[in-house]
Amino acid sequence: MNLSSFVAHQKFLFGLAIATTISTSVFAVTNEQLKTVVEGQQQSYLKTLEQLVNIESGSKDLDGLNKIANLIAEQLKATGAEVSIIPSTDIYRMDDTPEEIGPVVKAVLKGKGKSKIMLIAHMDTVYQKGQLKDQPFKIEDNRAYGLGISDDKQGVAAIIYTLDTLKKLNYKDFGTITVLINSDEEISSPGSRKLITETAKDQDVVLSFEGGGTDGSLRLATSGIGAAYLDIKGKSSHAGVKPEDGVNALTELSHQIGQMQDLSNPATGLKLNWTVATAGKTRNVIPDTATAQADVRALKVEDFDQIEKALDERVKNKKLADSQVNVKFEVRRPPLVANEKAQKLAQSAQEIYKNELNLPMNVLSTATGGGTDAAFAGMRSKAAVIEGMGLSGGGAHSTNAEYIFIDTIVPRLYLSTRLIMDSSKK
């Protein structure tokens, strides 16, 4: 046996000794024991992450989603959890929702305590089938690259190895740990949003494992995301010979967009921006159809209600009496608002990072942009909801650039395990 093999063997024996001697009381697990176990997880974590990355799992790739769901289910079963793969049948239909949605992997780990803790991540990516060959899993220095590695396959692996760490420590002071890993987050979770919301209702803590950005920040608030759709029907005619016989849908669309320019409210964070528009196909024909889409962001659910009513009222004012104007509004993701429980738990996370790992941590209590599934979890729950529990990295949604920082594996596994332990004391 060479030296490296001997050292690895000794680490394995030491980890095994910890797992068999530590009692189920949180007070018996020292910080050093926890560090030893999570340090021993890094290579296994990277191996699992490579397996996940090398399965293409775009949000509409049902074959790939089913394949990765089976792999995740196997890994979660190995932690001792009860695992099921749930088909998506109760679907919230939006403008771009596909006919079929991939499954949700659900795992429940039962302990001896009372705390109810929920861990969420997603297995789907924004990439198309066939792109994997251009960016397979690879490691260069402190970075691991791959399609979907940051968003959000690192989070899936982090959940698996958090549960595995608890198993190695023989820690069971929690009541239940419920894991939901969905396959439709990148398309606004039409098939999993209801399950996430219902499951989160009676939880004490919800940890969401989206990436922590380049600096590992935790987020307690996210913007809500909505969409507005204008559909104009007019009447075509010859643009040069008899334009007056037509009803110009483009003219009406321009009027409608113009009278909706004041619906944003910087004071409340409400934003409505028209971003996509189409009208007509031929230069010399009065267009009989026109459409437009708007991106809407809000920090409060009530603002979505307000904007929907305003849109319905504004379209009644038409420029061309014979045009038909329809508007549709959809909530793609509600906002997540920070509560006191989340603030306290995030403060504990900062103290763990500072005092036990000697690392800085930033906590963002104000929404800065995009929304996540953490908002569905927090919609009807009083739980402490924390987003950004995943590894640090960047390049999400970009070919040949998505990566995670390898040296954040151990700190993040340490943090997630410690937060579960701390939450189980209460």
User: In Å, what is the CA distance from 277 to each residue of 187, 229, 231?
Assistant: 21, 10, 10
Element (H, E) at 356: helix 340-356
pLDDT band at 103 (very low <50, low <70, confident <90, very high): very high
In the annotation, is 124 catalytic? yes
Mean pLDDT within 291-317? 95
Residue 370 has pLDDT above 90, yes or no: no
C-alpha span between 204 and 289 (Å, rounded):
51
Question: What structural domains does the chain harbor?
Answer: 3-222+336-424 (3.40.630.10), 224-332 (3.30.70.360)
Mean pLDDT within 235-239? 97
pLDDT band at 426 (very low <50, low <70, confident <90, very high): low
Written as one letter, the residue type at 153 is: K
Residue 4 has pLDDT above 90, yes or no: no
Mean predicted lDDT score pLDDT of the chain? 93
pLDDT per residue as tens digits for the range 187-217: 999 999 999 999 999 999 999 999 999 999 9
C-alpha span between 117 and 386 (Å, rounded):
12
pLDDT band at 369 (very low <50, low <70, confident <90, very high): low
Residue 175 has pLDDT above 70, yes or no: yes
Q: Which residue's entry shows tokens 């494992």?
A: 209
Kindly name the residue from 185, 210, 252, 303 that is annotated as catalytic: 185
Mean pLDDT within 348-369? 94
What pLDDT sits at residue 201? Answer: 98
Please name every residue paired with 229 in a beta bridge, in sequence order, or none if there are none. Answer: 293, 328
Kindly name the residue from 56, 61, 124, 373 that is annotated as catalytic: 124
What pLDDT sits at residue 23? Answer: 40
pLDDT per residue as tens digits for the range 62-86: 999 999 999 999 999 999 999 999 9
Q: Decide: 325 and 254 in contact? Cβ < 8 Å.
A: no
